[in-house]
Amino acid sequence: MAAVGLGVAAQERDRARIPDKYKWNLADIYPDDAAWRAAKEKTAGEIGGLKSYQGRLASSAQVLADALERMSALDKALSREYVYASLLADQDTRDAARQGMKQEMVQLYSTFAAQAAFIEPEVLKADRATIDRFVASEPRLAVYKFYLADIARRAAHTLSEPEEKLLASAGPLAGASSDAYNILANADFPYPTITLSDGKPHKIDQAAYADLRALPDRGDRQKVMSSFFDALGGFSGTFGTTMSGEVQKVRFYANARKYPSDLALALDGPNIPLSVYTRLVEGVNRNLPAFHRYLQLRRRMMGVSELHYYDLYAPLVDSVKLEYTPEEAEQHVLAAMKPLGDEYVTTLKKAFDERWIDLLPSEGKRSGAYSDGGAYDVHPYMLINFNGKYADVSTLAHELGHTMQSYFSNKAQPYPLANYPIFVAEVASTFNESLLIDHMLASIDDDDARLSLLGNYLENIKGTVFRQAQFAEFELKMHEMAEKGQPIVGDALAKLYLDITRRYYGSDQGVCIVDDYIQHEWSYIPHFYRDFYVYQYATSFTASLALAEKVKSGDAAATRRYLDFLHAGGSKYPIDLLKEAGVDMTTDEPLELTVKAMNRVMDEMEQILAKKGK
């Protein structure tokens, strides 16, 4: 295989020719599709047995324990089966048979949810004292104590058994917009082919766009970005329709469950105060001057009279080529994580050696990156699209943070308590990125290299705090449009997105010019189909920075609290988990600490530039 550092265009894109060591080994879940299908059919045949407990949950502690254990066992089996099917579907989105396997699992999950729909309404019918007495008398109910208490908390939004069954049956419909977007964006979209300054044609699909937008030639960057987003804009009506379907889905569930807003529905599950979301957006808007300071520093370092949006991914220091092979990336990540102890690093090594990771881009492979810890009795899996840049090394460290939280939670917690809340999901990932940048800086004295890495750190803050808060504001206003009965169409979303983006980047003040075609960038963001998810990147980053500062200072107690947090799974509400780890997300302090760190880095960069006479 050609050197990864040469960029995505030089990589082998034929999956069959990529060495196995860079591809995940799904045989750890099931040896083959036939074994998966046998397991799936066995689970399908057992789901109906849940009904034998209906009407009997309040009869005794033993019956309640039997029912919850049965529900949990089925859910664990379904999760393992779904992970296998979805990973296969994502490694080649063009494979109709594997897409069909994933759809089968969505349907089976819906059937399971419909069969289990009686449980929460029936628990609520029993008086609280009876449930408390059951928990006290039956040891098997100890692992369900938190779940049973949470049912009581959500009582006002839990419907009758027939209504819950009806909502559960709508599950396959609920994912239709997201599925349509995924196939269109990753498999069917006619991405443009353009000729760049090297005289060669380049197909600008999602993986290529993520790589080529960072080309050193400014004309190439502008051409890559404009052609990519203009192509997306040509399907504005289609993307508007899929997005409208997603928003209307959330509207339906919010109304059905009697929530005052879409945001209230999304935040009530993990018991997150609405003020945490609004405080983030308001706080980031209040700190836009710090963001604009970074953009002005980027303009100065790039030596351009006017900074454009297409300049934002270019290297800050042309003379420094931060490019890495997969093996170099592995070495840096393992070294960076040493402060977290031997068990942490040893497990990371297993992830590489035992092929938990699908590392390289290939034709039809899902774009982006993720970690999936849903195969509870196996191990987590990661999908990466590694292009050899420092940002890709950082992404690898990021996803390994998710993987380690899943690994530790699955190891330490029983299945009902293992699944950690999404609100804390990005803490471990961004924590790892913080350790990585410190490791890289500690080994580099060269001024240009330090400037490049410090610039990457600022890019991380830009992408994880300011950009995600920008997305969060767009998403909230999009849902508020629907709540007011306004149409969710491509043109309206493009206008909303462009207005917000120009404000964040100071376009009208000349800080960074946001060209018209950027209005279509919203349709490039798959996370808008994971409703009200993106704000958690920003809150998690600010939380992880506060926690990482203590760990990096050598505070053994802080390190122990952080590792306890990684083992805690979903045993408590996320706000409480983070408070025990050492950070209070209901305050402005985490964001303020992040902005202070950002300004310290910019101070150091300006000192280096002054020393260099620039």
Q: Is 122 noted as a catalytic residue in this protein?
A: no
Q: Out of 330, 399, 426, 475, pick the active-site residue.
A: 399
Cα angle for residues 11, 16, 20 (degrees, 5° grid): 85
* Cα 330 from Cα 396, distance rounded (Å): 8
* Cα 366 from Cα 368, distance rounded (Å): 7
Name the residue among 421, 418, 460 with its Cα closest to residue 438: 460
User: What type of residue sits at position 439?
Assistant: H
Residue 268 has which token pair?
Answer: 């009530």
Residue partners of 318: CB distance under 8 A and separation at least 6:
216
CB-based contacts of 305-308 (< 8 A; 24+ apart in sequence): 306/510, 306/513, 307/511, 307/512, 307/513, 308/222, 308/512, 308/513, 308/515
* Cα 249 from Cα 256, distance rounded (Å): 11
SS3 content of the chain, % helix, strand, coil (to 5): 70, 5, 25
Please state, as a whole number, how many other Cβ atoms lie within 10 Å of the Cβ of residue 403. 25
Q: At 295, which helix (H) or strand (E)?
A: helix 288-302
Concatenating the DSSP letter of every residue in 73-122 gives HHHHHHHHHHHHHHHHHHH-TT-HHHHHHHHHHHHHHHHHHHHTTTHHHH
Please state, as a whole number, how many other Cβ atoms lie within 10 Å of the Cβ of residue 360. 24
Helix extents (H) in 380-421: 390-412, 415-418
Name the residue among 522, 536, 527, 451 with its Cα closest to residue 493: 522
3-state secondary structure of 572: coil
Please identify every residue annotated as catalytic. 399
